[in-house]
């Protein structure tokens, strides 16, 4: 629009040259007005320019100061590495769009976005999309919003259905460009199985997410082909029933959804994605969210040697074959860390800043530090591969059942309470 305004001002100028002097006042007035409009349009479209390096400088104009502070706080060793990562988000709906916004605001290097749907007013009960984007494809609307928020992020969008033959090809090829993590944020079983297929074929680590049709529970899950259960190995625990939204709509009913549940699931998903990429904390293999009781079940799911997905079984075999090399590397790393720990204590400034107020203090103004509730001087890494149970043999299928039974026990205990 700014360009259009510039051309209009140019037109007025040339008109001015050709007019009798009696008209000049009117033209001047019109030019004034046009200049004012140009300023208004400029304000509403002001975008910051790209920044070359992420600075830790604490000034109001630095969009990365609060993120780079994660280093000073001892949480992340090298935050700027985030610019080297590419994340693919499949499904730009209630969870995927918020996940994309979070990663964009964190300054991720590159985002690949996949969706075939358009924005509707019926989506407005979830975060991210705006009413003025109704009718746009979700990918176009997302690129519009995200590029305004952070021009440093490279955005690639694919308006396609990954469950079609052609869509699947484009999807798989785009992942071959070098993607560090795939986030599945789709709303049906078929699309999840397609993401699973692509990631198993490529040996691509991914995270799955879902929200129940009654809108009050959800989950996230880490899937590392060959190392953890794939989506076909183990049953999804809390997942939409697999009925396409279009079918539901034809019948005059739709799934419920809440911006809260979807915001929490997106937050848990991207938090675990950050932990995975930037190597801090512990990545959850599975994390549920039951919002009615604020209950968060966790579990691990081992791969099923009899999985129906052939690519999964291939990845499992490769994973077993590479075990000796992995063990050696893990041992060397532990030894290297142990020797560096002897040199100097790490992360002295890693504090939680808990303030404890004395109950009996009438003024309630003094505070004292409670003992830190984080392990002193430790930064947690992604659990090494070998922390996952090792017994993956052709006759061993009990693992999945055990885990499911354990989760069922947790849920039963919850329901009877």
Residues 197-216, interacting with a copy of itself (CB under 8 A): 212-216
Q: How far apart are CA 103 and CA 153, in angstroms?
A: 9
Report if residue 21 touches a copy of itself, rule: CB under 8 A. Answer: no
* Residue carrying structure tokens 């100061």: 65
Strands 110-115 and 206-211: unpaired
Q: Which of 321, 333, 380, 409 binds a copy of itself (CB under 8 A)?
A: 380
Report if residue 154 touches a copy of itself, rule: CB under 8 A. Answer: no
Report if residue 95 touches a copy of itself, rule: CB under 8 A. Answer: no
Q: Which of 207, 284, 303, 385 binds a copy of itself (CB under 8 A)?
A: 284
Is residue 243 within 8 A of residue 235, CB to CB? The reply is no
- In the bound state with a copy of itself, the residue whose beta carbon lies nearer, of 22 and 339, is 22
- In the bound state with a copy of itself, the residue whose beta carbon lies nearer, of 150 and 204, is 150
Pair of tokens at residue 279:
């190597």
Q: Which helix (H) or strand (E) segment is 86 a member of?
A: strand 86-90
Q: Which of 164, 166, 253, 391 binds a copy of itself (CB under 8 A)?
A: 253
Q: Which of 110, 275, 302, 315 binds a copy of itself (CB under 8 A)?
A: 275
Q: In residues, how long is the chain?
A: 417
Report if residue 395 touches a copy of itself, rule: CB under 8 A. Answer: no
Report if residue 24 touches a copy of itself, rule: CB under 8 A. Answer: no
Contact stretch for a copy of itself (CB under 8 A) within 83-91, 179-187, 332-340, 407-415: 407-415
Report if residue 409 touches a copy of itself, rule: CB under 8 A. Answer: no
Is residue 113 within 8 A of residue 92, CB to CB? The reply is yes
Applying the rule CB under 8 A, the residues between 51 and 90 that interact with a copy of itself are 58-67, 69-70, 72-75
Closest distance to a copy of itself from the beta carbon of 204 (Å): 20
Q: Which of 109, 271, 330, 389 binds a copy of itself (CB under 8 A)?
A: 271
Q: How far apart are CA 36 and CA 28, in angstroms?
A: 12
DSSP letters for 321-380 = HTHHHHHHHHHHHHHHHHHHHHHS-S-TT-----EE--TT-SS----EEPPPSSPTT--P
DSSP SS3 for 57: coil
Q: How far apart are CA 192 and CA 261, in angstroms?
A: 20
Pair of tokens at residue 80:
């700027």
Q: How far apart are the first and last CA of the chain?
A: 60
Q: How far apart are CA 119 and CA 143, in angstroms?
A: 13
Report if residue 402 touches a copy of itself, rule: CB under 8 A. Answer: no
Report if residue 260 touches a copy of itself, rule: CB under 8 A. Answer: yes
- Say how many residues touch a copy of itself, by CB under 8 A: 150
Contact stretch for a copy of itself (CB under 8 A) within 160-168, 170-178, 318-326, 346-354: 346-354
- In the bound state with a copy of itself, the residue whose beta carbon lies nearer, of 127 and 346, is 127
Is residue 319 within 8 A of residue 327, CB to CB? The reply is no
Q: Active-site positions?
A: 254
Report if residue 152 touches a copy of itself, rule: CB under 8 A. Answer: no
Closest distance to a copy of itself from the beta carbon of 302 (Å): 12
Report if residue 6 touches a copy of itself, rule: CB under 8 A. Answer: no
Report if residue 40 touches a copy of itself, rule: CB under 8 A. Answer: yes
Q: Which helix (H) or strand (E) segment is 232 a member of?
A: none
């Amino acid at each position: 629009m700014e360009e259009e305004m510039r051309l209009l001002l140019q037109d007025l100028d040339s008109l001015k040259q050709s007019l009798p002097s009696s008209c000049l006042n009117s033209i001047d007035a019109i030019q004034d007005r046009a200049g004012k409009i140009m300023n208004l349009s400029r304000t509403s479209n002001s975008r910051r320019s790209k920044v070359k390096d992420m600075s830790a400088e604490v000034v109001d104009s630095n969009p990365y100061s609060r993120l780079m502070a994660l280093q000073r706080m001892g949480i992340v060793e090298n935050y700027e590495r985030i610019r080297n990562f590419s994340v693919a988000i499949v499904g730009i709906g209630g969870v995927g769009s918020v996940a994309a916004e979070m990663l964009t605001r964190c300054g991720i290097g590159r985002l690949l976005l996949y969706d075939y749907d358009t924005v509707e007013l019926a989506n407005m009960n979830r975060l991210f999309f705006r009413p003025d984007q109704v009718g746009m494809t979700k990918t176009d609307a997302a690129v519009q919003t995200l590029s305004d928020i952070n021009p440093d992020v490279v955005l690639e969008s694919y308006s396609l259905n990954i469950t079609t033959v052609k869509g699947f090809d484009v999807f798989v090829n785009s992942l071959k460009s070098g993607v560090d993590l795939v986030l599945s944020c789709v709303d049906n079983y078929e699309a999840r199985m397609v993401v699973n297929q692509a990631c198993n074929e490529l040996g691509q680590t991914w995270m799955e997410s879902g929200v129940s049709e009654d809108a009050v529970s959800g989950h996230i899950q880490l899937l590392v082909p060959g190392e953890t259960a794939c989506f076909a190995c183990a049953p999804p625990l809390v997942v939409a029933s697999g009925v396409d939204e279009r079918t539901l709509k034809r019948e005059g009913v739709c799934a419920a959804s809440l911006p809260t549940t979807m915001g929490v699931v997106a937050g848990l998903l991207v938090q675990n994605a950050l932990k995975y990429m930037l190597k801090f904390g512990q990545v959850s293999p599975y994390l549920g969210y039951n919002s009615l009781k604020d209950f968060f079940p966790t579990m691990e799911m081992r791969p099923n040697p009899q999985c129906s997905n052939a690519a999964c079984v291939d990845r499992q075999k490769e994973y077993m074959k590479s075990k000796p090399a992995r063990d050696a590397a893990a041992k060397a790393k532990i030894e290297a860390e142990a020797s560096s720990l002897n040199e100097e204590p790490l992360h002295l400034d890693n504090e939680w800043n808990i303030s404890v107020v004395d109950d009996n203090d009438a003024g309630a103004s003094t505070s004292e530090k409670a003992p830190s509730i984080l392990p002193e001087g430790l930064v947690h890494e992604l659990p090494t591969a070998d922390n996952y149970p090792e017994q993956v043999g052709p006759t061993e299928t009990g693992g999945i059942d055990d885990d499911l039974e354990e989760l069922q026990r947790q849920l039963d205990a919850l329901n009877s309470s």
